[in-house]
Each structure stands twice: as structure tokens, then as C-alpha cells.
Structure 1
């Protein structure tokens, strides 16, 4: 199915923010009493949630958005890109949309941002979902090598024109090999179009600097980390059996550090993109957890 058929029923638009310029959002479920923000991973964009925005919009006011420097949001070259700036971007976006409190869910870098946001702006949070999140310790040698591999694949896509093949290789890293049939030409070409834009090529070295730092350190860790013990909200670690970098043992080690944490491991074999690889299961878990606190 086409990405844009999946998005039918959602509104794709731009919202102006004071510090981060124009932010592209995908929105559904306006008028629902509780809001839910969905945040992508490093180098990603709202298309990562194309299968989720509309179905989740039946239950929540859903907003997926492109981080600054990513997707079709503004590409700033006068700032550095620590994960904390994305938390500030989320706060400004909530202000611009007139949303006081919301459920926050993020995948990979977006999961790290969820945790950072919860500590910095606890009064703006309902429940949290840390979806294959970064910002927790890497527990295995395979995980450390996965991080180096991601940095290496990413380097092929900026500083010189990216190609269909280089984009496909990086996106294969995201998805469990048993689900590679989901990597349609349209999905790859949409990312190729974004990565080929001159503005993205200018911001990319800044956006991906944290990956380069991790690679230089042998994949031991990423520069940013969540202070899990300071998260006061109910938080779900939503994980997969084939998640790269942070495998299930990493999630199990992180769980006791959360005051009100739960862990759910997807039943279907998935990699780093459970929301795309098994959207029906993902959406069902999200709805149940956000409405009841249970999984």
C-alpha cells in the first residue's frame, strides 16, 4: 500500500515555532480529548509513522512531526544538534498547537527525546512510550557493532549525492530482514528525495555528528543519555526481539531504573521500526497502554 494511501484522513501541514522555524506535521483525530505526539529516529521523518497516524487518530489527537534538521522541517545550520534541542522543539510545537499536556511516544532518537522531555517538562506529560529507544546503556558487543554499522551506513548519504542503493542499505538496517519486503521502492525513494535536497545535505553533518562521535568511540555509547531515575511518569519500554544496538537485555537492564516502568516485547519478529513492521500490534499496545496503563 502507498504511504499516501496510509495517510488518507490525516492532515499534512506546517506549523511555525519561535526557535525552530517551520515544522512539518501529520495530524489526525483533532477534537479528541487527549493528544499523542509521535517522534521518529535520527535521520528519519514522519513517513516512519505513515501506518499509525490515522488509526491512532481514532483514539487520540495524534501529531507526528519532523525534527528540526530532518524531513521537510526547517534545516538550521547555526545550531548544534544535541538531543535536548528536540525536546525544546516539542515544547514549542505543543505551545504553538495550544496543547498543554500529551502522551509522548518516540522511536530510537525519538525515545531518547521522550525521556529528556519528561525530565525537563514533566508538567506537559501524560504517559510515555519509549519505543526501541536510544539513550540507555548498550549491553552487548553486537549492540556496539550495530552502532558502528549505522554510522558507517549513514555516512554514505551526505557529503555526496545519496543513491537508491545507499538509502536502501541504511533502511535495511532499520527493519528485521524477515520484513524487508516492506521496503517498497516508494518508501526508499521518499527518503532519497529528502536526503538529496540541498538543505538536508547542509544540515546532515550537524544532525549526524553524534553518530560520528559514537563511531569514533568504538560504539561504546551515544553522547546523550536518559536519566531514567528522574522520570516520574508511567513509561512503557516497547521493544522488539531483533532491535539493533539496544537489544532486549538492554531494555531489561533499563526497566528497574524507571519508577513506574513496564516492558512489552513485540510478539512479531521486528527490528528497529515496530510501528511500521507490525502496525496492528503496535497500535493495539499503544492504545491499551495509554488508555489503561496496562499491556
Structure 2
């Protein structure tokens, strides 16, 4: 349960108050800052970047997935902020950050991350990335090891580069952006979940707002270059670069991830060497939303706030 949920009193009459009332209600009782910072990215220039920060302690940076935005972590920031200085942000070409007309390949997204660390005066940080965010976090750990303390790869997505997964993600995302109707965007968001009752109107409408931004059709085309097999081949998960990661690493998987099963987790585990694997049951591609208590507890333990035993549940 999140800090905001714990802080809400129960109703003495009428139906019980839901644990999750709204995205920003999760932060109602937590001091936080939402602002834009300019991040210098090589070959791109200054990128106006939306950033949410809360808490104090060791730095923990959270990275969302393809077509996403920092609200993907709305259910986790308040509780994580008890132990860490949490930074969640919209990657370049995503959310309400700038949409420069360049392909958002993994190296560009990684350069944006490193530039953000510089802009925020963060020398080293724990990184936790979901889906595309996990890919970017891993690439950064391999190519900028001096900036990464510990690494959490959360359902990092299609490690085996399956063509059908790429095609499905490309088609559903393109449809939702070209026609951001409730039906199309809800279908795209629902794909992320195992428990589809957690897909709220608020979350769908927020994503519709992002997809309706001027210039977002070009931006999503620049994002989806990573679902093209030829472009993807330059950055595909591969032991040649994955094996360069030296940061202690935790893999967070689920039993209903639509992008890849535990066989892919074991594949990645073999490339990384001695790493921890934690499987969250009853969740899909967004365990940080479906199982926030367990998700936060696993981070707290692995990142040093408490002893961690691989496979232990909250």
C-alpha cells in the first residue's frame, strides 16, 4: 500500500474509499516537485524534460516504457521516497518532454538519461527501468558504469527480439496515436495489465492527452524505430554489451508479461552472470502499478534499505 493510501481515513458511511483514488492523490501527503529542466543531448541539443522528484537519501531514477510517461510510477514514488531521493522523468520524445525530430534509439535515450543526471547534479544513481526504460538503463550501465550504483531491470521486454512482439507493439501503439480514441488507447493501456480492472479512466485519458500532443505522431514513429528489426539489430540485447554491466543487478519479472516469459529472464540472467531474479505473480507488464507494495519492497531490500533474499515477497 502506498503512503497516500495509508494516510487516507476510511469512510464511516457509504462505500469504502478505493486504495487508488487518483494518480496525483498518491502524492497528496508527500512533499514533491514537478518541473522541467533543460537537458543537453549530443546531436540533439537542449531537451526540455519533465521531471518529478521526491524524498531524500540515495538517488533512485525511474525510467518508463515505450510511449509512456512518469505517471507509470505514480503508485510507487511516495513509498520509495521514504528511503531514496526519487527522480521519475519523461524520456525524450515521451510524455510532456520535448519531441525533437530524431530517431529515439537506445543510445540517444541513454545520452538523455546521462544528461539528466548532469543537469540534476547526480554523480551516481540507482537505476530502475521498465520495458524500454530497462533497456535504456542497462545500456547506460554498460556504457557509463561510473554513473550507475545498482540496476533494476523491470520486465525489460522482448529480450529474444521476437518479431511478433515487435509487430504487435508497433501496430497497437501506432493505432492509438493516429486515432487516440478512448477505445484505441484503452486497448493499448490494457495490454500492459494482467488485472485489467486496474485500468482507470484517468490513466487512459492521461495517455490520450499525451498521444494528442502536436507532433506526437512523428515522435512515436521516432520511438518505434526500435521495433524495426534492422534498426533494432544495432542495439539488441546481446552478451557482447550486456556482459559489460558491472553494477549489481536485479531482474524483476512477472508471470503474465506479454513481452516475454521466464525463459527470457533466464537468458538475460546467463549473460549478466550472478544476478538476482524476483518474480511477481498476478501481474503483467506493469508490476509497479499492479503490485506496488511488492514492487517497492523488492527495491527497498535490493538497493540496501533492508537485507534482500531473492524471491522473497513483501
Per-residue displacement from partner, 1:182-238 (whole Å, max 9, x unpaired)? 111011000001101113223221112222x14x99xxx766223221111110110
1:122 aligns with 2:145: yes
TM-score normalised by L of structure 1: 0.89
| Paired residues, number | 279
Q: Which runs of 4+ in 1 moved over 4 A?
A: none
Q: Which residue pairs with 2:107 in the alignment?
A: 84
Is the radius of gyration larger for structure 1 or structure 2? Answer: 2
Aligned to 1:99, the other structure's residue is in SS state coil
* CA 1:16–1:293: 2 relative to 1, 3 Å: farther
1:225 aligns with 2:246: no
| Distance apart, 1:269 and its partner CA | 0.8
CA RMSD of aligned residues (A): 1.8
Per-residue displacement from partner, 1:28-69 (whole Å, max 9, x unpaired)? 11x42x100000001000010000111101100000110000
1:280 aligns with 2:293: yes
Counterpart-to-counterpart distance in 2, 1:262 and 1:37: 19
| Distance apart, 1:152 and its partner CA | 1.5
1:241 aligns with 2:255: yes
Counterpart-to-counterpart distance in 2, 1:161 and 1:2: 25
- Name structure 2 gaps, 5 residues minimum: 1-20
Contact 2:139 2:242 in 1 (8 A): no
Counterpart-to-counterpart distance in 2, 1:294 and 1:223: 35
Aligned to 1:111, the other structure's residue is in SS state helix
| Distance apart, 1:129 and its partner CA | 0.2
Counterpart-to-counterpart distance in 2, 1:7 and 1:224: 36
Residue 5 of structure 1, aligned match among 25, 49, 53: 25
Say which structure, 1 or 2, has more relative contact order (CA 8 Å, 6+ apart): 1
| Distance apart, 1:16 and its partner CA | 1.1
Q: Which residue pairs with 1:68 in the alignment?
A: 92
Contact 1:135 1:222 in 2 (8 A): no
Contact 1:86 1:113 in 2 (8 A): yes
